[in-house]
């Protein structure tokens, strides 16, 4: 029989330390739905999603009950919708919004929490459909509930499309203004990427990439609380011990994800894609990445030393998780979404954590500037410049970076914006008072970087 201490350890991880499977995400290719007529296309999209994902939620719930492991979300990711917009006879904003509404309806019909993939990849240039789809994002997000959108504006191979960066600053602003009654909630469903991955199960940036198959199951694990509790037991010991402890914990967490992914894949008769071994915080106290960093000895997350602590954490999570799963992918690392992390919220409120420090942290974390609320009067050019900085970090370091930023209408520094649920509470953080307008107005492309001669 399995050692009783191991059984109790597993149960404590779930009951007291917030271990959970964050999401089972079904990737569904919509390439077969492309066609010139919008009505036919919407019907095909709706039918395909509701038929492929009809058992997803039930299967997730069964696994949850039989194994006693909470599965917080069931989600769907689809082929970037710009592909469908391109196939239309005459792509218009109205038609793209109709597609977004179709995704929303289909996702609600099967009972999932989110559907991602209202996306366009324009890191080198725009097609006509992509241009229209991006223009439609503010309305699409404002007029739907659970559709998530992402746009790729840069990559290590292609450089940064500064025209798209400029446009995305404006799109983020428009999305915020269209949802001013919810303090810019649409922006919480919009991610601007550099080097996006094709198999990400996490929102808002999930889409099913071009190299993916017809249908696939990807699983995202979580468990910052478990890592924090494990580190409490090695207080004061050196970093070798810290890294080793995180690795062992990440291994155990990921094994759980691997098991759930295999079970879900077998029961749904859909191939298993990857386990994304990310530490994804929630606003619940005890489920915070910031608290892990503080457990390492930092007085507050955001102080000097935070980047080093996060680098160690991010790397140890990957090392521990890689052996636990047959296929690791997605974003895999530590997320630092400010409004979704109790410790980050606290650190931002007391002034320990600034936008500048967060930018430095994104060089070593799994993604980028995430769920950051900034003053409502921030200009589109400043938002574009924030996106450009973040894309540059991703491009040069060959990593995924992203910006999910909310210029909450009417909000000023010091205010607090409530999003509710997993999206949490965002303290409004100040941006630089100096402009970047002329820089952003230049347009064009920042060339791809040289990938040798690194020093």
Partner 1 sequence: MKAIVTVVGEDKKGIIAKVSNVLYENDVNIVDISQTIMQNMFTMIMMVEFKSANVSVQQITEKLNVIAEEMGLSIHVQREEIFTSMHRI
- The residues that touch partner 1, with contacts defined as CB under 8 A, are 1-11, 15, 62, 65-69, 252, 255-256, 258-259
Angle, vertex CA 53, rays to CA 215 and CA 120, nearest 5: 60
> Is the Cβ of residue 64 or residue 130 nearer to partner 1 in the bound state?
64
Select 239 or 327, whichever has its Cβ closest to partner 1: 327
- For residue 67, the minimal CB distance to partner 1 (Å) is 5
- CB closer to partner 1 out of 325 and 366: 325
CB-wise, 223 or 330, nearer to partner 1?
223
Report the residue number, 54 or 248, with the smaller CB distance to partner 1: 248
Q: How far is the CB of 255 from partner 1 (least distance, A)?
A: 5
Cβ 70 to partner 1, closest distance in Å? 12
Closer by beta carbon to partner 1, 311 or else 322:
322
Distance CA(359)–CA(336), nearest Å, equals: 11
* Minimal distance, residue 252 CB to partner 1, in Å: 5
Question: At its nearest, how many Å lie between partner 1 and the CB of residue 422?
Answer: 24
List strand residue ranges (DSSP E) for 136-236, in order.
147-155, 159-161, 190-194, 215-221
Task: Tell me 212's DSSP state.
Answer: -
In the complex, minimum distance from the CB of residue 63 to partner 1, in angstroms, rounded to a whole number: 9
Residue 251 C-beta: closest distance to partner 1, Å: 9
Which is nearest to 265 in space by CA: 254, 276, 274, 256?
A: 274
- Other Cβ atoms within 10 Å of 380 Cβ, number: 19
CB of 60 to partner 1, least distance (A): 14
Smallest separation (angstroms) from partner 1 to the CB of 260: 9
Contact 332, 314 (CB under 8 A): no
**Residue closer to partner 1, measured from CB, 18 or 258:** 258
Count of Cβ atoms closer than 10 Å to residue 61 Cβ:
13
Rank residues 64 and 276 by Cβ distance to partner 1 and give the closer one: 64
Residue 419 token pair: 């999003």
Task: Count the Cβ atoms, other than its own, within 10 Å of residue 233.
Answer: 8
- Give me the DSSP letters along 72-113: EEEEEEES-THHHHHHSSS--HHHHHHHHHHHHHHHHHHT-S
CB of 256 to partner 1, least distance (A): 6
Beta bridge pairs of residue 275: 219, 328
Select 132 or 324, whichever has its Cβ closest to partner 1: 324
Burial of 78 (0-12, 13-18, 19+ CB in 10 A): buried
Residues 307/298, Cβ–Cβ less than 8 Å: no
Cα 304 to Cα 131, 300, 310, 400: the distances in Å are 42, 9, 11, 24
Judge contact between 281 and 225, C-beta under 8 A: no
Of the two residues 87 and 322, which places its CB atom closer to partner 1 in the complex? Answer: 322
Please list, in sequence order, all residues whose beta carbon lies within 8 angstroms of the beta carbon of residue 159, skipping any fewer than 6 positions away.
123, 124, 395, 445, 446, 447, 448, 449
Work out the number of other CB atoms within 10 angstroms of the CB of residue 409.
Answer: 18
Q: Are strands 114-121 and 71-78 parallel, antiparallel or unpaired?
A: parallel
- Between CA 192 and CA 38 the distance in angstroms is 26
Cβ-based nearer residue to partner 1, 261 or 298? 261
Query: Closest CB to partner 1 among 10 and 180?
Result: 10
* 3-class DSSP assignment, residue 200: coil
Q: How far is the CB of 1 from partner 1 (least distance, A)?
A: 5
Buried b (16+ CB within 10 A) or exposed e, 419-431: beebbbbbbbbeb
- Minimum CB–partner distance for residue 65 and partner 1 (Å): 5
Closest among 215, 194, 276, 210 to 22, alpha carbons compared: 276
């Amino acid at each position: 029989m399995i050692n009783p201490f191991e059984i109790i350890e597993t149960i404590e991880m779930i009951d007291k330390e917030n271990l959970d499977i964050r999401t089972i995400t079904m990737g569904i290719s919509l390439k077969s739905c492309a066609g010139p007529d919008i009505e036919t296309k919407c019907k095909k999209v709706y039918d395909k999603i509701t038929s492929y994902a009809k058992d997803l939620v039930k299967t997730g719930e069964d696994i949850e009950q039989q194994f006693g492991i909470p599965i917080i979300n069931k989600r769907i990711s689809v082929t970037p919708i710009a592909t469908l917009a391109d196939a239309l006879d005459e792509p218009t904003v109205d038609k793209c919004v109709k597609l977004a509404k179709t995704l929303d309806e289909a996702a609600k019909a099967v009972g999932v929490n989110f559907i991602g993939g209202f996306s366009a990849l324009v890191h080198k240039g725009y097609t006509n459909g992509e241009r229209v789809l991006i223009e439609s994002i503010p309305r699409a997000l404002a007029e739907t509930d659970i559709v998530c959108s992402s746009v790729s504006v840069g990559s290590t191979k292609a450089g940064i499309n500064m025209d798209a960066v400029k446009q995305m600053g404006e799109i983020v602003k428009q999305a915020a203004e269209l949802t001013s009654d919810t303090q810019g909630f649409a922006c919480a469903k919009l991610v601007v990427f550099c080097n996006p991955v094709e198999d990400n199960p996490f929102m808002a940036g999930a889409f099913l990439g071009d190299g993916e198959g017809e249908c696939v199951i990807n699983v995202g694990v979580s468990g910052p609380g478990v890592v924090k509790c494990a580190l409490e037991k090695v207080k004061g010991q050196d970093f070798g011990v810290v890294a080793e402890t995180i690795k062992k914990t990440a291994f155990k967490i990921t094994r759980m994800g691997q098991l759930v992914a295999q079970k879900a894949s077998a029961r749904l008769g859909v191939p298993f894609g990857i386990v994304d071994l990310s530490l994804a915080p929630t606003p619940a106290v005890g489920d915070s990445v910031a608290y892990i960093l503080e457990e390492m000895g930092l007085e507050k997350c955001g102080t000097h030393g935070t980047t080093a602590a996060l680098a160690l954490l991010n790397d140890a999570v990957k090392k521990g998780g890689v052996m636990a799963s047959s296929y690791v992918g997605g974003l895999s690392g530590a997320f630092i979404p400010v409004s979704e992390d109790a410790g980050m919220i606290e650190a931002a409120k007391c002034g320990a954590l600034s936008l500048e420090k967060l930018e430095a942290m994104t060089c070593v974390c799994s993604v980028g500037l995430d769920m950051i609320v900034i003053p409502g009067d921030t200009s589109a050019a400043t938002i574009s410049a924030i996106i450009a900085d973040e894309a540059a970090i991703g491009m040069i370091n060959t990593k995924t970076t992203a910006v999910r930023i909310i210029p909450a209408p009417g909000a000023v520094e010091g205010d607090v914006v409530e999003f509710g649920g997993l999206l949490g509470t965002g303290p409004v953080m100040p941006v630089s008072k100096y402009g970047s307008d002329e820089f952003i107005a230049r347009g064009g492309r920042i060339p791809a970087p040289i990938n040798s001669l690194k020093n």
